[in-house]
Amino acid sequence: MSSDRAAEPLDTLLARAHEQLGIAVYDGLMSRGGPPELRDPEQVLGRMLAAVHRRTGDAVVTRLGRNRRGPSAAVVAGSAAPADGLLMQRPASVRLKYREQAMNCARRYWPLNVETVMGRAVEAVQDLIAGLEEERLSDTTCDRLLRVSSSMGRVLALPEHVQLPLALAGYDYVQEVEDYLSTCTERLVAQVRRSKQLLDSELSPYFYGPEVSWLGMLEVSQDLGDDLDLAHREALSLSRAVAEVEEASTDFRGADLQQVNLDGVDLEGIRWDASTSWPSEWTERIWEASLAASTGEGELVVGAKPSDSTVPADI
């Protein structure tokens, strides 16, 4: 490249590249008999935009991967997790249409209450530390730690990330849910794996030795307590992520759903209010199947079947 060309502003270079690309596209079309007839312009435009979006995403991911040097788990996790309430910012029509897939995804990543499991593990180790500081252990301490190890094994069995097939807007939303939950789960599983290894390989052998080493057990127990505190925080993060998915899948107060095809959509448990707009042919059925929520704020909840009671007209 000449020195004059190198000195050109970036905007000039981009404009020239854009012009050359336009010429190449035009020549290519004309060489094939001219521009094709567009029978469905909106559909063609949608496909073009989706293709450009996917290619742009691939390019960005490739560039980030090329520039990233030894990413830490925290950096990777932070880039994948959406900001607070981002799922709720997706169109209500998409959230409603794919709510069942999103809820199923949340149930896969929350087959057990990991917040409770890790909370009990923290309590068990805190009690162990207190006993070791007093040089007095309960006869049930060892069995309790074995149960903690077993429960952590259940956390390690949480599902791994699933890469869904590429599709248009709807499945992109489900993939976003999948990525969000799996990111939280991966951090939790990694921390629990470290904690379980410390418990099984370094702490448990003390209980089977010829004599108790109070100082050694205390040191390992304190390290384990610190690790479990971190694991408990990750469990709380996963709990919040699941709650956010459930919120995005149930809260449709004030949403405009007039153009949504509700055939086959599970509406049970959906929260809505008088400002929610339903398709005209569904409005009566929705009112009949709904009950006033206990919040007292004009909120309604869709039931499994038409309600026997009447919803007040001033809701």
Residue pLDDT, tens place only, 90-134? 899 999 989 999 999 999 999 999 999 999 999 999 999 999 988
pLDDT at 7 (0 to 100) = 55
Residue 267 has pLDDT above 70, yes or no: yes
pLDDT at 198 (0 to 100) = 95
Asked if 239 and 188 count as a contact pair (C-beta separation under 8 A), the reply is no
Single-letter amino acid, residue 2: S
Convert 249-273 to b/e letters by CB count within 10 Å (16 or more is b).
Answer: bbbbbebebeebebeeeebeebbbe
Question: Which of 152 and 210 is assigned the larger pLDDT?
Answer: 152
Residue 226 has pLDDT above 90, yes or no: yes
pLDDT at 268 (0 to 100) = 92
Look at 68-72, 81-85, 97-101, 271-275 and tell me which has the smallest mean pLDDT. Answer: 68-72
pLDDT at 39 (0 to 100) = 52
Asked if 80 and 183 count as a contact pair (C-beta separation under 8 A), the reply is yes
Mean pLDDT over 65-71 rounds to 40
Q: How far apart are CA 175 and CA 164, in angstroms?
A: 6
Q: Which of 96, 124, 103, 106 is nearest to 228 (CA)?
A: 124
pLDDT at 29 (0 to 100) = 57
Mean pLDDT over 137-152 rounds to 93
pLDDT at 79 (0 to 100) = 36
Using alpha carbons only, give the angle 199, 208, 226 rounded to the nearest 5 degrees. Answer: 20
Look at 76-90, 96-110, 166-180, 242-256 and tell me which has the smallest mean pLDDT. Answer: 76-90
Q: Which of 161, 149, 166 is nearest to 109 (CA)?
A: 161
DSSP label at residue 166? P
Look at 158-167, 262-271, 287-296 and tell me which has the smallest mean pLDDT. Answer: 158-167
What separation in angstroms does the CA of 306 have from each of 109, 267, 282, 287, 309? 32, 12, 12, 8, 9
Mean pLDDT over 159-186 rounds to 79
pLDDT at 47 (0 to 100) = 53
Mean pLDDT over 25-44 rounds to 56
* Average pLDDT of the chain to the nearest whole number: 79
Residue 235 has pLDDT above 90, yes or no: yes
pLDDT at 314 (0 to 100) = 42
Residue with tokens 């020195």: 3
Q: Which of 154, 101, 150, 22 is nearest to 266 (CA)?
A: 101
Residue 60 has pLDDT above 60, yes or no: no
Mean pLDDT over 4-28 rounds to 67
Q: How far apart are CA 180 and CA 80, in angstroms?
A: 7
pLDDT grade for 172, boundaries at 50, 70 and 90: confident
pLDDT grade for 247, boundaries at 50, 70 and 90: very high
Asked if 232 and 122 count as a contact pair (C-beta separation under 8 A), the reply is yes
Mean pLDDT over 240-249 rounds to 95
pTM: 0.69
Question: Which of 126 and 315 is assigned the larger pLDDT?
Answer: 126
Look at 62-71, 78-87, 257-266 and tell me which has the smallest mean pLDDT. Answer: 62-71
**DSSP secondary structure letters along 6-73:** HTS-HHHHHHHHHHHHHHHHHHHHHHTTSSPP-S-HHHHHHHHHHHHHHHHHHHHHHHHHHH--S--H
pLDDT grade for 51, boundaries at 50, 70 and 90: low
Look at 113-117, 189-193, 276-280, 301-305 and tell me which has the smallest mean pLDDT. Answer: 301-305
Q: Which of 103, 294, 128 is nearest to 206 (CA)?
A: 128
Using alpha carbons only, give the angle 205, 210, 211 rounded to the nearest 5 degrees. Answer: 90
